[in-house]
Structure 1
Amino acid sequence: MTRLRLTSLTLLAVTCLCLGCTPKLPDPTASIEPEGRFTSSGEVALDEQWWTLFNDPVLNRLVEQGHSENLTIKSAWDRLDQAGAVARQAGSSLLPSLDANAAFTSTRTKTSGITSDSDLYSLGLAAGYELDLWGRVRGANKAADLELLATGEDLKSALLTVTAEVATTWFQLVEQYGQKRIINEQIAINGKTLELVELQFRTGKVGIADLLQQRQLVERNRGELTRVEVTISLLEHALAILLGKEPGEAGELEPASFHKLPPLPETGLKIELLERRPDIQSAWYAVRAANQRTRSAIADRFPKVTLGARASTSSTNSSGLFDDWATSLSANLLGPIIDGGNRRAEVDRRRAITSEALNRYRLTVLEAITEVEDALVRELRQADYLASLEAQLELSTAATERIRDRYTKGSENYQRVLDSILSEQSLQRSILTARRQLYEYRIALYRSLAGG
C-alpha cells in the first residue's frame, strides 16, 4: 500500500509539473480584410438559383440533371463521406476504450505412462483512457472536424463549378444553333443572288469572274455550315459528360435563342465575398485545421498519461467461471527523452504547413476579388462592343441594299457588292458570338459571387 501511494504521488507531481508547460496554440490571423465595394453593382439581390433568371426551361432541366448525375459532384459527396468517417475516428480517441477477451485451453499431458486432461476457461475486460492534458488528441479531433467542414465547402464549389460549366456549354450550343440558322439563311440569300448573276451572265451583262465569285461565296457558306455542325456535335458530347452520360445520351436538345440578359446583380461589399465563396471558406478551414495539427505536434513532445483497468476470471470448468475475479488499476506516464529531434522537426513541419495554408488562403481571397472585378469589366465592355456591332450591322445592311441596287442598274462593279455582302454576313455571325460571350461573362460574375 505504501509503495502504491508513493507511485501515485510521484505521478501526480510529474503531471502537475508538466501542466505548467501546456503548449500555446499559434494564432493564424489573416491579414487580408478587403474594404469597400466593387467597381460596379446592380440593384437586384443575388439569386441563389441564378440560372433560372435566363428564362430558359432547357437550361433549368440541364442544371437539375447535372446536380444529381454529374460524376464530379458524386465524387465530392464521396469525399465528404470519407471526411466524416475520419472525423468520427478522431473523435473516438477522446473516449475510453473497452475490450473483452475470452479463451478456452485444453491440455493433455502424459507422465510415466499416465495420461491426464485439463481444461481452462478464461474471460477478461480491459479498459484504457488517455488523459489529454496537453490537447494532443483534442487538436487532432478539431483538425478532423475542420477538414470535414472544408470538404463540405469543396462540395459547394463543385456544385457551383458544374452549374457554371453546364450553363456555359448550353449557351455555346445556343450560339452554334444560331450560327447554323444564320448560315442557312445566308445560303438561301446568296443562292438567289447567284441566280441573278447567272441571268446577267447569260445576257452578257457581267463576266465569268462575277459568276465564279458568287458560286465560291455559296460554297464557302456550305463549308462553314459543316464546321458549325461539327462544333454542335462536340458541344453536345461535352454536355452529356457534364450530365454523367455517354455522348449522344443527353436527350433531345431543342434549338433555342438568346433572351434578354437578366439585370446586373448586386455585388455588395468585398468583405462579404469572404463569407459567400465556398473556396475561400474551405481555404480558411484548412488554415485552422493545419493550426490544430500544429497544436497536436507540439503536445506530442510532452508526456502521455494513460489510465487502465483490467478484470479477469478463469476456471477449469465453465460453471465456476464467475466465482473468482482478479482486478487491477494502472496509471502510466510515458514521455520522450531522446528522439534525435524527430518531434521538434515535426513541429517545424506543421508550422510551415500552417504558413503555407495561410498564404494559400490570402491568394484565394485576392483571386476571388479579381475574378469579380474582371467579370464586371468584361461584361461592361462587351455590352459596348455588342452595341457597336449592332450599329455596324445596321449601316452595313443599308449599304448592301444600295450597292446591290446600283449593281443591278450597271453602275457598280460586282467586287463592291461582294465585299459588302461579306461584311454584312460576317457582322451577323459576330453579333451572335458577342452575345454568347456577354452571357458567359454574366455566368462568370454569378460564379465569382458564389451564386447558387
Structure 2
Amino acid sequence: MTTRSRPRLAAAALAALAFLGGCASLAPDYQRPAAPVPAQLGTAPADASATTPVADIGWQSFFADERLQRLIALALDNNRDLRIAALNIERARGLYGVQAADALPSVGVAGGANAQRIPGDLNTSGQSVVSRQYSATLGFSAYELDLFGRVRSLRESAQQQVFATEEARRATHVSLVSQVAASWLTLAADLARQQLAQATLKSQSDTLRLTERRFELGVSSDLDVQRARTTVETARADVARFAGQVQADLQALQLLLGTPVPPELMPGTEATALAFTPLPAGLSSEVLLQRPDVAQAERDLLAANATIGAARAAFFPRISLTASIGTASSSLSGLFGSGSGIWSFVPQLALPIFDQGRNRANLQVAQADRDIRVAAYERSIQAAFREVADALAQRQSLAEQLAAQRALEDAAARAQFLSQARFERGVDDFLSVLDAQRSLYAAQQGRLTTALAQQVNAVTLYKALGGGWAATTRTADAAPAAAQR
C-alpha cells in the first residue's frame, strides 16, 4: 500500500462510518397518549351558522368592533410577555444550533512554530544547537461517530424544545388577544355602570329636593326626607366605587397593551351590547389538540422521548475521530516545499464498563421525565376539556339569565312609573316609590353585569377552542410553521 493511498482510505472509512452513524436511534417509538376525556364537548348540536373551525376564525373576524381590533393590534406590538415569548424562541433556536453542530465535524486550520535551544553538554557534538519546526494543518478533533444515535437523539430533543417554545409563544398570543378583549369589555361595562349610577344620583337628588320641599309645605314627613336621602347617598357611593373600578380597568388594560390607552379607542356604552361570531356548541374533543398549550405539552413529551434515546446510547461504545493533514518543515521557507506533507488519523473507542451505575441512573431519570411529560400532556387536555365544557355550559345559562334580566328591568321600569303615578295621586305613600326606584336601579345594574358575563363567556370559549392566533384567516407565516410542526 502506497503512502498516498492511506489518506484516501482513511477518508473513505470516515465517510462510511459517518453514514452508518446517521442510521441508528435508540429512542422509543412515539405514540400519542389517548386523551383521558370524553369524546364529545357539549351536548347541544353544532350551530349551523358556525361551519368554520374556531381555530381558523381570525380575531379580526370574531371581534368586529374597529376600536377593539386596533387595541388588540397595539397589544400584539407592545406587550412585554409576548416579546419575552418571542425571545425565548430565539434562545431555543440558538441552543438547537449548538446541539445540531455536534452532528458534523468541526473543521479548523492550525499553524504553529516551535523553537528550542539545546545546550552543548546535552548534545553529543558538544555544541549548543537551536532547532526550529514550522507546521500548518487542516483537520478536525474528537468528532463522534453517532453509531447509536446519541447525538441524533439530543438534536431531536433540542428541536422539539424549539417547537415547544413556538407553541408557548402562540399560547401567549392567544391568551393576550382574549385578555385584551375581556378587559376592554369590562371597562365598557364599568363605564356604563358609572354612567347609570351618575344618572341615578341626579334623579335621586331631584327627588330629594322635591321631598324636602314637600316637607317644608307639610305634605311629606321627615321620614320621607331621610328615606330619599338614603337613596341619594347610596347612588353617590356607587358613583365613587365605579369610578375606582374604571381606573383599575384602565390600568389593567394599559398593562396588557404595554402603552397608554389612546382616548379614541376607549369603549362606549354601546359596547355592552356587542355581539360576536357564533361558535359551535357540540364538538369532538379532538379540537382540543389545536390548542397551543396542548401542543406545547406534546412537544415537551417528544423532547423527553428523544432524551431516552441518548440515555440508552450511553451504554454502547463511543467512537471519536481526530484527523489532520498539512505540512511541516524545519524552516519557514520550506514549509510548502516538496516532501513536507504530514497527516495523522487517530480513532478512539470508549466503552463504559463500570461507571458506578451512572448511565443506568441517567436512563432512569430520562424515563421518569418522559412519564412526567405524559402526565402533564394528559392533564393539559383535561384542563382544556374542563375550560371548554364550563364555557359551553354557562353559555346557555347566561343567555337565559340575560333574557330574564331584561324582562325584570322592563317590569321594574313599569312598576316605578306606576308607583310614581299612584304616589302623585295620593294612593300610595313615598316608600313604595323609593322601593320601585331601588328595584329598577338594581335591575339595570344586574342586566349590565349579566351582559358582561355573556360577552366574557364568548371570549373565553373562543380562546378555549384555540381561536385568536390568526388576524383574519391563517396567516402566510403561520402556515409553514404549522406544516413544520
TM-score computed with the length of structure 1 as normaliser = 0.89
Deviates more, 1:108-117 or 1:353-362: 108-117
User: Which residue of 1 is the match for residue 362 of structure 2?
Assistant: 346
User: Which residue of 1 is the match for residue 290 of structure 2?
Assistant: 276
Structure 1 residues not aligned, in runs of 5+: 9-17
Is 1:254 the counterpart of 2:266? The answer is yes
For residue 22 of structure 1, report the CA deviation from its aligned partner: 7.6
User: Which residue of 1 is the match for residue 374 of structure 2?
Assistant: 358
- Cα pair distance change 1:317/1:97, threshold 3 Å: same
Q: Is the 8 A contact 1:42 1:263 kept in 2?
A: no
User: Which residue of 2 is the match for residue 385 of structure 1?
Assistant: 401
Q: Following the alignment from structure 1 to structure 2, what is the Cα–Cα distance between the partners of residues 327 and 361?
A: 53
Q: Following the alignment from structure 1 to structure 2, what is the Cα–Cα distance between the partners of residues 401 and 87?
A: 72
Q: Following the alignment from structure 1 to structure 2, what is the Cα–Cα distance between the partners of residues 382 and 94?
A: 58
Task: Please state whether the residue corresponding to 1:206 is helix, strand or coil.
Answer: coil
Counterpart selection for 1:186 from 197, 200, 207:
200
For residue 115 of structure 1, report the CA deviation from its aligned partner: 8.1
For residue 26 of structure 1, report the CA deviation from its aligned partner: 5.1
For residue 355 of structure 1, report the CA deviation from its aligned partner: 0.6
Is 1:35 the counterpart of 2:39? The answer is yes
For residue 290 of structure 1, report the CA deviation from its aligned partner: 0.4
Q: Is the 8 A contact 1:38 1:269 kept in 2?
A: yes
Task: Describe the superposition over 1:17-68 as per-residue Cα deviations: whole angstroms up to 9, x where unpaired.
Answer: x9xx984625454122752453233231235323543432111011001111
Task: Please state whether the residue corresponding to 1:55 is helix, strand or coil.
Answer: coil
Matched residue pairs, number?
Answer: 434
For residue 119 of structure 1, report the CA deviation from its aligned partner: 4.6
Q: Following the alignment from structure 1 to structure 2, what is the Cα–Cα distance between the partners of residues 139 and 23?
A: 8
Counterpart selection for 1:166 from 174, 177, 180:
180
Task: Please state whether the residue corresponding to 1:77 is helix, strand or coil.
Answer: helix
Q: Following the alignment from structure 2 to structure 1, what is the Cα–Cα distance between the partners of residues 415 and 343?
A: 105
Q: Is the 8 A contact 2:273 2:451 kept in 1?
A: no
Structure 2 residues not aligned, in runs of 5+: 11-20, 469-485
Counterpart amino acid of residue 456 in structure 2: E
RMSD of equivalent CA atoms = 2.6
Task: Please state whether the residue corresponding to 2:275 is helix, strand or coil.
Answer: coil
Is 1:231 the counterpart of 2:235? The answer is no
Task: Describe the superposition over 1:335-385 as per-residue Cα deviations: whole angstroms up to 9, x where unpaired.
Answer: 101101010011011101101101111111121122111101112101111
For residue 89 of structure 1, report the CA deviation from its aligned partner: 1.6
| Seq. identity, % | 27
Deviates more, 1:75-84 or 1:114-123: 114-123
Counterpart amino acid of residue 155 in structure 2: N
Q: Following the alignment from structure 2 to structure 1, what is the Cα–Cα distance between the partners of residues 154 and 246?
A: 51
What are the within-5 Å matches in structure 2 for residues 298-309 of structure 1? 298-309=312-323
User: Which residue of 1 is the match for residue 439 of structure 2?
Assistant: 423
Q: Following the alignment from structure 1 to structure 2, what is the Cα–Cα distance between the partners of residues 276 and 26?
A: 23
Counterpart amino acid of residue 47 in structure 2: G
TM-score computed with the length of structure 2 as normaliser = 0.83
Q: Is the 8 A contact 1:287 1:354 kept in 2?
A: yes
For residue 169 of structure 1, report the CA deviation from its aligned partner: 0.6
What are the within-5 Å matches in structure 2 for residues 12-411 of structure 1? 23=26, 25=28, 27-32=30-35, 35-40=39-44, 41-43=46-48, 44=50, 45=52, 46=54, 48-50=57-59, 52-107=61-116, 119-128=132-141, 129-245=143-259, 249-252=260-263, 253-256=265-268, 257=270, 258-266=272-280, 269-323=283-337, 324-411=340-427
- Cα pair distance change 1:418/1:229, threshold 3 Å: same
Task: Describe the superposition over 1:376-402 as per-residue Cα deviations: whole angstroms up to 9, x where unpaired.
Answer: 111210111111111111111111112
- Cα pair distance change 1:58/1:199, threshold 3 Å: same
Task: Describe the superposition over 1:95-142 as per-residue Cα deviations: whole angstroms up to 9, x where unpaired.
Answer: 122122222345567769998766543222332432211111111111
Deviates more, 1:426-435 or 1:301-310: 301-310
Q: Is the 8 A contact 2:285 2:385 kept in 1?
A: no
For residue 268 of structure 1, report the CA deviation from its aligned partner: 6.1
Task: Describe the superposition over 1:161-213 as per-residue Cα deviations: whole angstroms up to 9, x where unpaired.
Answer: 11111111100100011112111211222122223212211210111121122
Q: Is the 8 A contact 2:119 2:127 kept in 1?
A: yes
Task: Describe the superposition over 1:211-253 as per-residue Cα deviations: whole angstroms up to 9, x where unpaired.
Answer: 12212322221221111111111111111111113xxx22214
Q: Following the alignment from structure 1 to structure 2, what is the Cα–Cα distance between the partners of residues 176 and 22?
A: 60
Q: Following the alignment from structure 1 to structure 2, what is the Cα–Cα distance between the partners of residues 303 and 240?
A: 58
Counterpart amino acid of residue 427 in structure 2: S
Task: Please state whether the residue corresponding to 1:93 is helix, strand or coil.
Answer: helix
Q: Following the alignment from structure 2 to structure 1, what is the Cα–Cα distance between the partners of residues 191 and 97?
A: 51
User: Which residue of 2 is the match for residue 448 of structure 1?
Assistant: 464
Q: Following the alignment from structure 1 to structure 2, what is the Cα–Cα distance between the partners of residues 312 and 117?
A: 24
